[in-house]
Amino acid sequence: MIETLKRNLMKKNKIMPVLKIYVSLIVLIVILFSGCSKDLEMTDSITADNLTNADAVTVSKDGHKFVANEILVKFKEGTSTAARTVALSRVNGTVVEKILTHAMKNSGDNEGITLVKTPLAALDALSRIKGSAEIEFAEPNWIYTVDATSNDPYYTNGSLWGMYGDATSPANQYGSQAGEAWAAGHTGSSTVWIGIIDEGYMYTHEDLAGNAGKNPGEIAGDGVDNDGNGYIDDVYGWDFDGNNNTVFDGTSDDHGTHVAGTIGAVGGNSKGVAGVCWTVKLMNAKFLGKRGGTTANAIKAVDYFTDLKTRHGINLVATNNSWGGGGFSQALQDAIERANNAGILFIAAAGNNGADTETSTSYPSGYPNANIIAVASITNTGTLSSFSNYAATKVDLGAPGSGIYSCLPKSSKGKIVSGYGSYSGTSMATPHVTGAAALYASTHNGATASQIKSGILGSVIATSSLSGKCSTGGRLNVGGF
């Protein structure tokens, strides 16, 4: 059974307070099913940028959202134009976009993925087109959302508990032990790069600007794709949601900014907070907009970093993926595998359904690719956060995710200024591990992705709340990095 959500009433600016409550209740249902939380903001902007249909989102019976009238098709390589036309005619389909990234071509795939618009319901279209001789696979264009929960007023006290450990602060023994690593002089390296696949992040933030990486092959503002990666003036990264080079678009990029701060806010500068890794190069592939992000754009974001690493020979060790939703996608799994082949870890949030996801898999953290590290969230008393998913083999470890203080863009007197705040979610646990990957790489020159992963998983501290809930049964411990 498929239910299409009608959102005509959900124009935030036009509804009465009572109706707002009503709408909130509807949205809450979506949240409970989808395990996302920040999509309270999606109510007034659910329409995808490249769609004209105001009711463009469908929810499957198991709660996964996808674009209502789009499908992703992978034709078998060598399929004739005539055969493609015949196949697409079965769903009255028109090609929106042929996605053929440099990373795909480098991996020997010259076919890519075709994004198809259809007047049919997506699942109906898929049933008509799947199994055709000329098609390798076809799937929904899933919608992903952030895995953060809203501000938690009980934790907004400025305490960076996630950065401490038993030696630096016995009261914060369930933190990542980053303080111990810092005390040993291990604070990161500007030759280690991290990709943030998320919303945009505020690269001008007072506590992030020092670690804002710039595409080493791109000249800012000259209107030329200097490095030939297909993106013009992608200095700080690329915005795949807006399809432009402006990765930071204001206060709505709070989640991406918060994530960036936990990975790599500048430490020791007498300002704000400190990331797990005080010195690092951050770059951004924004694909989550106010409405969330699609599979089509997630693929491009993942491939962006795979290509950036190989194209420029930078030591890009991991991407941070604090988002989830959707069902299985072969196209996304293939993109993650291309990252794996380029030696890039894909560090992903376990998701916020508070559920055992061993059999009912949460994506993308639950894909089987060797480069994935799936992260659950713990509280500052060492318990599994109530919202956190867990899975005996499909989640790897726990990390601080409840009441995490980090960077935020704030609006003040009509300007965007540097701010700070406390968020909770597996979204917040994940960047602790991504920062850990960067820190490990900075002290282990030439470490491969699998060595970094082994270093992280091999150093966890056994934690009773995580026993049987993840493959290591332990929590993040970077004290020895």
Q: Which amino acid does the sequence have at 25?
A: L
Whether residue 254 lies in the annotated active site: no
Residue with token string 């450990």: 165
Query: What are the backbone dihedrals phi and psi of residue 440, each rounded to the nearest 5 degrees, phi first?
Result: -60, -45
Catalytic residue among 37, 45, 176, 198: 198
Angle formed by the axes of helices 330-341 and 295-312, nearest 10°? 10
**Which helix H or strand E contains 431, and what residues bound it?**
helix 426-443
Cα gap 145→152, rounded to integer Å: 19
- What is the pairing mode between strands 323-324 and 135-146? antiparallel
| DSSP per position, 252-275 | GGHHHHHHHHHHHPPPSSSSS---
Q: Which amino acid does the sequence have at 396?
A: D
Cα gap 450→345, rounded to integer Å: 8
Of 66 and 231, CB closest to Ca ion: 231
Q: Is 234 in the site for Ca ion (CB under 5 A)?
A: yes
Distances (CA, A) of 265 to 55, 201, 270, 458, 477: 39, 12, 12, 25, 19
Query: Which member of 159, 229, 380, 459 binds Ca ion (CB under 5 A)?
Result: 229
Cα gap 467→267, rounded to integer Å: 33
Of the ranges 80-88, 218-226, 340-348, 391-399, which one interacts with Ca ion (CB under 5 A)?
218-226
Within 277-344, strands assigned E span 279-286, 293-294, 315-321, 323-324
Q: Is 246 in the site for Ca ion (CB under 5 A)?
A: no
- Strand, helix or coil for residue 88: helix
Q: Is 216 in the site for Ca ion (CB under 5 A)?
A: no
Of 39 and 233, CB closest to Ca ion: 233
Q: Which amino acid does the sequence have at 291?
A: R
Beta bridge partners of 97: 115
Cα gap 407→260, rounded to integer Å: 8
Of the ranges 203-211, 227-235, 286-294, 419-427, which one interacts with Ca ion (CB under 5 A)?
227-235
Least distance from Ca ion to the Cβ atom of residue 64, Å: 33
Whether residue 233 lies in the annotated active site: no
Beta bridge partners of 396: none
Query: Which member of 219, 411, 458, 462 binds Ca ion (CB under 5 A)?
Result: 219
Q: Is 222 in the site for Ca ion (CB under 5 A)?
A: yes
Of 199 and 234, CB closest to Ca ion: 234
Q: Which string of b and e fits 299-326 if b means at least 16 CB within 10 Å? A: bbbbbbbbbbbbbeebbbbbbbbbbbbb
Q: Is 231 in the site for Ca ion (CB under 5 A)?
A: yes
Q: Is 111 in the site for Ca ion (CB under 5 A)?
A: no
Whether residue 255 lies in the annotated active site: yes
Least distance from Ca ion to the Cβ atom of residue 349, Å: 29
Query: Which member of 109, 225, 356, 358 binds Ca ion (CB under 5 A)?
Result: 225
Of the ranges 35-43, 222-230, 404-412, 419-427, which one interacts with Ca ion (CB under 5 A)?
222-230
Q: Is 248 in the site for Ca ion (CB under 5 A)?
A: no
- Per the structure block, which two tokens stand in for 270? 């007498």
Of 169 and 226, CB closest to Ca ion: 226
| CA angle centred on 189, ends 101 and 401, rounded to 5° | 75
Of 214 and 410, CB closest to Ca ion: 214
Least distance from Ca ion to the Cβ atom of residue 298, Å: 20
Q: Is 19 in the site for Ca ion (CB under 5 A)?
A: no
Query: Which member of 134, 227, 356, 358 binds Ca ion (CB under 5 A)?
Result: 227
Least distance from Ca ion to the Cβ atom of residue 229, Å: 4
Query: Which member of 106, 107, 204, 226 binds Ca ion (CB under 5 A)?
Result: 226
Catalytic residue among 176, 385, 388, 427: 427
Cα gap 234→218, rounded to integer Å: 7
Question: How many residues of this chain interact with Ca ion, rule: CB under 5 A?
Answer: 11
Q: Is 233 in the site for Ca ion (CB under 5 A)?
A: yes
Of 60 and 297, CB closest to Ca ion: 297
Q: Is 214 in the site for Ca ion (CB under 5 A)?
A: no
Cα gap 268→266, rounded to integer Å: 7
- Per the structure block, which two tokens stand in for 89? 């005619």
Of the ranges 27-35, 149-157, 220-228, 374-382, which one interacts with Ca ion (CB under 5 A)?
220-228
Torsion of CA 294, 295, 300, 302, to 10 degrees: 110
Least distance from Ca ion to the Cβ atom of residue 357, Å: 37
Of 42 and 247, CB closest to Ca ion: 247
Of 195 and 400, CB closest to Ca ion: 195
Least distance from Ca ion to the Cβ atom of residue 455, Å: 33
Of 139 and 234, CB closest to Ca ion: 234
- Strand, helix or coil for residue 343: coil
Least distance from Ca ion to the Cβ atom of residue 346, Å: 23
Q: Is 243 in the site for Ca ion (CB under 5 A)?
A: no
Which residues are known to be catalytic?
A: 198, 255, 427
Using CB under 5 A as the criterion, which residues of the chain lie in contact with Ca ion when the complex forms? 218-219, 222, 224-227, 229, 231, 233-234
